[in-house]
Amino acid sequence: MWKCFLFFVFVALTFTNVQAELARDERGVFTKNFFGGVWGNRPPWMEYNQPKTSCTCKCGERNEVSRIVEGVEAGINEFPWMAKLTYFKRFYCGGMVINDRYVLTAAHCVKGFMWFMIKVTFGEHNRCNATVRPETRFVVRVIAQNFTLTNFDNDIALLRLNERVPMSAAIKPICLPKSDHNLYVGAKAVASGWGTLTEEGKVSCTLQEVEVPVISNQECRNTKYTSSMITDNMLCAGYPKTGGKDSCQGDSGGPLITERKYDKRYELIGVVSWGNGCARVGYPGVYTRVTNYLDWIRENTRDACFCRKKTMFSYLVCLFLCVSIGAGDTLSKDLLRVSDEYYAYGQESDNQLPPCRDCSCGERNEEARVVGGSTANVNAFPWIARLIYGNAFGCGASLINDRYVLSAAHCVKGFMWFMFRVKFGEHDRCDKYHIPEIRYVTKMYVHNFTLTELSNDISLLQLNKPLEYSHAIRPVCLPKSDYNLYVGTLATVSGWGAMAETGKWSCTLLEAQLPVLSNEECRNTKYNKTKIKDVMMCAGYPATAHKDACTGDSGGPLVAENNEHTYDLIGVVSWGWGCARIGYPGVYVRVTKYLDWIQENTADACYCAY
């Protein structure tokens, strides 16, 4: 009983110290992080139990960590790997998600703390918004490197979470470097956090970001820091000659990232560690060099699940749960329209056509209307379908005849075909009172889809029984010719995907009009030229990026009006970088490249005659 009493006394004293720290913050007296004074977290000088020296010091020098100054507010969930650490309900440090079970942070953020009192929250942007309930986990284990307070060497730690973190548009892991040889000198890096905006300011409510260049360790040792303070396990970034931009108090443990050239993803190169003041001339920010700890990280996170690209199944998991590629954010173009041959019924005359052919494909239920992310009229696109895997909505699809729907290969490859259901005739997918037409999948045809290049991202799903057409369910037309490139065509994309890059998926069907770009023009955007293949098509506004498809629209249709005032399926939503980002138009499967393949694999179906 007395042990419990002592424990609560200890907690109370700790909380009292916390309140004292807050009071000091209000008076403008800052420490390295929120609990620096309590647990001995100081900049790299000495611990209390170290012998004091008389002359090897600089009088009047403040002990401050790096912080974000002269940055800008990040977009909502722009950095989905960002995590916030709280201790006794007080924010004090940052961290980053590296897999489904572990968060990486700075050792000085956890050394001396009671690990079971640390709470980690994910998917936040405005930490002061009490109406938003972020994903929350508690820490069950802290794994710290051989960290020393004397010089802040090895300032890195892993936090094992009590439960795995579900990946979503707002929560995704940061990439780790593949090689430990890159020094990143000259690289443009980005630091982010909720730290103070000025050296004597208050911590920010909204997530901030700042871009700083990485400098060599030799250059860093020639600044106002002493040479011995910068070890090989550290990395410096900032503007030592001018100052002005830096991380700031409260950013400790947060990420320093840089964009990779070969796939345009971001990798973690540093952890906010320490520094003298905020954006002071002669004092760049000092970060933990992550490449020196790759083996240590892997060794201590073997029980976690990293996003990988080795198998199609793992790719699809990351695609739907981590959204790690930004895939499912764009559409592709030309699909095929099968010719007027009678595939299943021979040479019937027009007045003896079976019901499945007595129809007009690609006909919209409404005249053209205001678009651009607006809600589509009810059943405006009667060919659109939803793919349900288990009980979860995953992708869109297009009805092309009475027996088959067309979708993206990345939506189905690696999944069990018998777990798919296809829903037709929907507008408001959240309307529980509307009963859509449902079919099950009995067979899947997946093209030679390659994950490395994202080529041939097209698939066919055979339904368990034919559909009967109605006002709400009719097929889209396939292109009659494989020569049309559709450059300059104003095409329409539709789906129930996210309304913003980090937004929620829509209940009602949305549509947006996008101009089709030439592949040459697409290759001159921010994409790597080699990524845009001839079997792909780009559509969107790369200069302004105000319209685009988004997460959840994968596999859905991109249609264009033909000369007969009906609609051809010219693209299938395939991949893209983010949602409506400047310089990154949507990329779609070019359907006209697969007309023969579609004809061959749907010979048992009944197409509309006109």
What CA–CA distance (Å, rounded) separates 404 from 605? Answer: 7
| Residue 546 designated active-site | no
What CA–CA distance (Å, rounded) separates 179 from 356? Answer: 57
Q: 301: Cβ–Cβ under 8 A, 6 or more apart, which residues? A: 98, 99, 101, 102, 158
| Residue 155 designated active-site | yes
Q: Are 312 and 450 spatial neighbours (Cβ–Cβ below 8 Å)?
A: no
590, amino acid identity: R
Could you tell me the CA-to-CA distances from 11 to 5, 33, 39, 448, 539 in Å, in that order?
A: 10, 19, 13, 61, 59
Local structure of 520: helix, strand or coil: helix
The structure tokens listed for 7 are: 């424990």
Helix (H), strand (E) at residue 396: strand 392-399
Q: Which of 66, 192, 247, 252 is catalytic?
A: 252
Paired residues of 493 in beta bridges: 512, 558
Q: 392: Cβ–Cβ under 8 A, 6 or more apart, which residues? A: none
Q: Are 167 and 174 spatial neighbours (Cβ–Cβ below 8 Å)?
A: no
Helix (H), strand (E) at residue 480: none
Q: Which of 100, 125, 153, 155 is catalytic?
A: 155
| Residue 506 designated active-site | no
For residue 283, which of 291, 272, 275 has the smallest C-alpha distance? 275
36, amino acid identity: G
The structure tokens listed for 89 are: 């309900």
Local structure of 2: helix, strand or coil: helix
Q: 325: Cβ–Cβ under 8 A, 6 or more apart, which residues? A: 265, 318, 319, 575
Paired residues of 495 in beta bridges: 510
The structure tokens listed for 539 are: 């559509």
What CA–CA distance (Å, rounded) separates 203 from 205? Answer: 7
Q: Which of 100, 108, 125, 506 is catalytic?
A: 108
Paired residues of 141 in beta bridges: 160
Could you tell me the CA-to-CA distances from 573 to 163, 397, 525, 554 in Å, in that order?
A: 33, 9, 19, 5
Local structure of 160: helix, strand or coil: strand
* Longest CA–CA separation in the chain, Å: 105
Residues recognised as catalytic: 108, 155, 252
